[in-house]
Chains A and B, each alone.
Chain A
């Protein structure tokens, strides 16, 4: 009896959790282990390992007598770190959180159909294949008068044409990534707003609350958890995001974030790639940065408490 029950337990485990476990191991754990191993080798273009070494990490720093650690970050690496920080911070705060929130608030305040229409419009960038989306952006910011932006500026406002890719590269990648990122915040926050019991709104109105007060005292408190979630999730996503940066800017120095640097050194076409161990070392540092920021944000946003008990339910 007990044997058959434990057998059933084992088969149930294999049937229900097996696929998820295989998925987890093959696609999430294995790559990290491979990365960890490769980062400590000399694997380069010939894809062979001749020795185990820490020299890849040595490439990121150089000896310095002034620094109390005895070394300091090399220019390229320091630059990649700062560009990553700026890119993640700006995209996250301006678009993924703030703009997502504004979209959710405004589209839920509109009549249902109109709101759904605007949400659908904002989802378009996410639905478009990335190459198509990037091509559209390339046309928008084309530095000549062919570009949409310059047509507007020159013919609409009589201004001189601008060259976004050359003069405002960070703004370009923040905006183009933000337009995609905002839709995710919008969706999650919209469904959270929808799940607030209607009677709370009626009660607030009955008490004489205006629209702003309703947002401040009824809606925003209910959004704390989804907002924290979006912040943590999108921080991690943006840290490793390079797809649109590469499609729009190529291997340009002005937008060489950590993820782009790792891609450039390993797989990007035609820019001295093939340094797999070096790229793995950069990726490993990125993984550590991701873990630390996730834990920090988890702590800062007090997610533990929020995860424990649903706050939206009103008893």
Chain B
């Protein structure tokens, strides 16, 4: 009898405890989804620190609420795979509150009902956002509205090894004049391959140009050089021209023929791509500014010695496809997306705090990404260690973004099929262009405009 009453009292207490718990809730847990990425540990880290700041504010206001951050770090190989995983989690009702994503996924996230519209949040907090570089906002827009906040930006380039150019008999004037010749449209993509082949044939390097081995933004930058405009913003549809593709693939074909690009480039591992340039086997590498840190280390150059670095390496935009054309660059910002969950207002405030100058500079300088706020460039840390980033800013003049279209991933994958087919010699440039347009039409359907 006694036992039974003790038991029932216990059960009653437990029930009461469970039912009463939400009434005294003090913890707000914000789930942050991010890839464990060597090139940006502070992306989620800055959110964790923002929570500390916010908690100090809450405590000062006498609130008993505490914001906790739960990190969901994934092992995905790239932003695309990671974005697909977060969409899967969302489809079973397990959405995180903040997502660190590549900007081109904003469209898919918004369409899936995962991303919250941040227009009101951004407009009502001008003191937190007004210094963000305006063009970067373009990267988070879907159908004209902002569904994210830029976390970093970058420039891409062909890195050229000056020592090899010298060994191949090129004068200092020629080397120093390259970036300008590229920007003026005098030095074209074909000239670049000729130069790479010349350096290689002279024995100054083992390889000519190395590019990424897998699908990615660099290729869109090269496509843009050949006049392919990938996006029709008014209709929100992707677009392609067969003639542009033919020019682009013909260029790749001729580069491989000349020996300037290895035919098996697309079967390289990332490590061998990095090693080829950092180990001074390849004359040129087509990638992005965040390579600076590892390059300084590999070449044994002091991290504060910008002059020594630029004596060894030249940066150029992707040259124009035809003489007199415009060079191209591509910035591929990583962004914070706030999910449309009950916690979205708190999550958005954390994003706002993480976007401020001090935390963002920690990320930008630490991992060689260009900043998101204008004011960061004046910070002492930036002036001392960020010389490379400041040098990258002029390249941004020619930068475009990838379209924020839900099917851009497929578009990139299919155009990459053409790259692989041409480089390995499986198809002629014309066949590859035909194949790619057919694949694009089949897979993208109404989301694609074929201009010619």
Q: Min CB distance, A64 to chain B, in Å?
A: 13
Q: Min CB distance, A260 to chain B, in Å?
A: 13
- Quick one: given A46-B112, A269-B76, A272-B409, are A166 and B424 in contact (CB under 8 Å)? yes
Q: Which residues of B contact A48 (CB under 8 A)?
A: 91, 112
CA distance A273 to B264 in the complex (A): 23
**B215 and A271 contacting across the interface, CB-CB below 8 Å:** yes
Question: What does the 1/0 interface line of B391-414 toward A look like (CB < 8 Å)?
Answer: 000000000000000100111111
- The residue of chain B having its C-beta at the shortest distance from the C-beta of A268 within the complex is B81
Q: Does A59 contact B (CB under 8 A)?
A: yes
Q: Min CB distance, B405 to chain A, in Å?
A: 12
**A271 and B264 contacting across the interface, CB-CB below 8 Å:** no
**A46 and B264 contacting across the interface, CB-CB below 8 Å:** no
- The residue of chain A having its C-beta at the shortest distance from the C-beta of B84 within the complex is A274
- Quick one: given A45-B84, A47-B91, are A253 and B417 in contact (CB under 8 Å)? yes
- Quick one: given A48-B112, A75-B438, A165-B267, are A270 and B426 in contact (CB under 8 Å)? no
**A271 and B413 contacting across the interface, CB-CB below 8 Å:** yes
Q: Does B123 contact A (CB under 8 A)?
A: no
- Quick one: given A59-B443, A253-B424, are A270 and B417 in contact (CB under 8 Å)? no
**A45 and B87 contacting across the interface, CB-CB below 8 Å:** yes
**B267 and A249 contacting across the interface, CB-CB below 8 Å:** yes
Q: Does A254 contact B (CB under 8 A)?
A: yes
Q: Does A108 contact B (CB under 8 A)?
A: no
CA distance A74 to B266 in the complex (A): 24
Within 8 A of B (CB), among A251-283: 252-254, 269-275, 278
Q: Which residues of A contact B412 (CB under 8 A)?
A: 272
Q: Does A250 contact B (CB under 8 A)?
A: yes
Q: Does A161 contact B (CB under 8 A)?
A: no
- The residue of chain A having its C-beta at the shortest distance from the C-beta of B443 within the complex is A59
* Other-chain residue from B81, B215, B263, B439 in contact with A166 (beta carbon distance below 8 A): B263
Q: Which residues of B contact A11 (CB under 8 A)?
A: none
* Other-chain residue from B77, B91, B266 in contact with A46 (beta carbon distance below 8 A): B91
Q: Which residues of A contact B111 (CB under 8 A)?
A: 46
**B267 and A166 contacting across the interface, CB-CB below 8 Å:** yes
CA distance A270 to B263 in the complex (A): 21
Q: Does B53 contact A (CB under 8 A)?
A: no
**B435 and A75 contacting across the interface, CB-CB below 8 Å:** yes
Question: What does the 1/0 interface line of B69-84 toward A look like (CB < 8 Å)?
Answer: 0000000111011011
Q: Does A76 contact B (CB under 8 A)?
A: yes
**B81 and A273 contacting across the interface, CB-CB below 8 Å:** yes
Q: Which residues of A contact B81 (CB under 8 A)?
A: 269-270, 273
Q: Does A301 contact B (CB under 8 A)?
A: no
**Interface size bracket, A side:** 20 to 34
**A76 and B439 contacting across the interface, CB-CB below 8 Å:** yes
Q: Which residues of A contact B112 (CB under 8 A)?
A: 45-46, 48
Query: Which secondary structure dominates chain B's binding surface?
Result: helix
- Quick one: given A45-B108, A166-B263, A253-B417, are A275 and B424 in contact (CB under 8 Å)? no
Q: Which residues of B contact A192 (CB under 8 A)?
A: none
Q: Does A163 contact B (CB under 8 A)?
A: yes
CA distance A166 to B424 in the complex (A): 7
CA distance A271 to B216 in the complex (A): 9
CA distance A47 to B111 in the complex (A): 12
**A274 and B214 contacting across the interface, CB-CB below 8 Å:** no
Q: Which residues of B contact A166 (CB under 8 A)?
A: 263-264, 267, 424
Q: Does A143 contact B (CB under 8 A)?
A: yes
CA distance A46 to B89 in the complex (A): 10
Q: Which residues of B contact A143 (CB under 8 A)?
A: 264
Q: Min CB distance, A50 to chain B, in Å?
A: 11
CA distance A250 to B421 in the complex (A): 14
Q: Which residues of B contact A45 (CB under 8 A)?
A: 83-84, 87, 108, 112, 406, 409
Q: Does B420 contact A (CB under 8 A)?
A: yes
CA distance A253 to B432 in the complex (A): 12
Q: Min CB distance, A48 to chain B, in Å?
A: 6
**A47 and B87 contacting across the interface, CB-CB below 8 Å:** yes
Question: What does the 1/0 interface line of B433-451 toward A look like (CB < 8 Å)?
Answer: 0010011001100000000
Q: Does B147 contact A (CB under 8 A)?
A: no
CA distance A47 to B438 in the complex (A): 25
Q: Which residues of A contact B442 (CB under 8 A)?
A: 59, 62, 74
Q: Which residues of B contact A74 (CB under 8 A)?
A: 438, 442
CA distance A48 to B114 in the complex (A): 12
CA distance A72 to B409 in the complex (A): 27
Q: Which residues of B contact A269 (CB under 8 A)?
A: 76-78, 80-81
Q: Which residues of A contact B409 (CB under 8 A)?
A: 45, 272-274
Q: Min CB distance, B325 to chain A, in Å?
A: 29
Within 8 A of A (CB), among B204-248: 214-216
Q: Does B159 contact A (CB under 8 A)?
A: no
Q: Min CB distance, B231 to chain A, in Å?
A: 17
**B420 and A252 contacting across the interface, CB-CB below 8 Å:** yes
Q: Does B336 contact A (CB under 8 A)?
A: no
Q: Does B416 contact A (CB under 8 A)?
A: yes
CA distance A274 to B443 in the complex (A): 12
Q: Which residues of A contact B439 (CB under 8 A)?
A: 76
Q: Does B121 contact A (CB under 8 A)?
A: no
Q: Which residues of B contact A163 (CB under 8 A)?
A: 264
- Quick one: given A269-B76, A272-B412, are A253 and B87 in contact (CB under 8 Å)? no
**A270 and B421 contacting across the interface, CB-CB below 8 Å:** no
Q: Min CB distance, B73 to chain A, in Å?
A: 16
Q: Which residues of B contact A252 (CB under 8 A)?
A: 266-267, 420
Counting chain A CB atoms within 10 Å of each CB, the highest count among B76, B216, B266, B421 belongs to B266
**B421 and A253 contacting across the interface, CB-CB below 8 Å:** yes
Q: Does B88 contact A (CB under 8 A)?
A: yes
CA distance A62 to B442 in the complex (A): 9
CA distance A272 to B443 in the complex (A): 11
Question: What does the 1/0 interface line of A72-96 toward B look like (CB < 8 Å)?
Answer: 0011100000000000000000000
**B443 and A275 contacting across the interface, CB-CB below 8 Å:** yes
- The residue of chain B having its C-beta at the shortest distance from the C-beta of A58 within the complex is B442
Q: Which residues of B contact A270 (CB under 8 A)?
A: 77-78, 80-81, 214-216
- The residue of chain B having its C-beta at the shortest distance from the C-beta of A43 within the complex is B91
- Besides A272-B412, A275-B410, 13 more A-B contacts (Cβ < 8 Å) are A45-B83, A48-B112, A74-B442, A163-B264, A166-B267, A166-B424, A253-B417, A270-B77, A271-B215, A271-B416, A272-B80, A273-B409, A274-B87
Chain B residues in the interface with A (C-beta under 8 A): 76-78, 80-81, 83-84, 87-88, 90-91, 108, 111-112, 214-216, 263-264, 266-267, 406, 409-414, 416-417, 420-421, 424, 426, 435, 438-439, 442-443
What 4 pairs between A and B have smallest CB-CB spacing? A272-B413, A47-B91, A46-B112, A269-B81
Name 26 interchain pairs, CB-CB below 8 A, sorted by A.
A45-B84, A45-B108, A46-B108, A46-B406, A47-B87, A48-B91, A59-B442, A62-B442, A75-B435, A163-B264, A166-B264, A250-B214, A252-B266, A254-B424, A269-B76, A269-B80, A270-B214, A270-B216, A271-B214, A271-B215, A271-B416, A272-B412, A272-B413, A273-B409, A273-B413, A274-B409
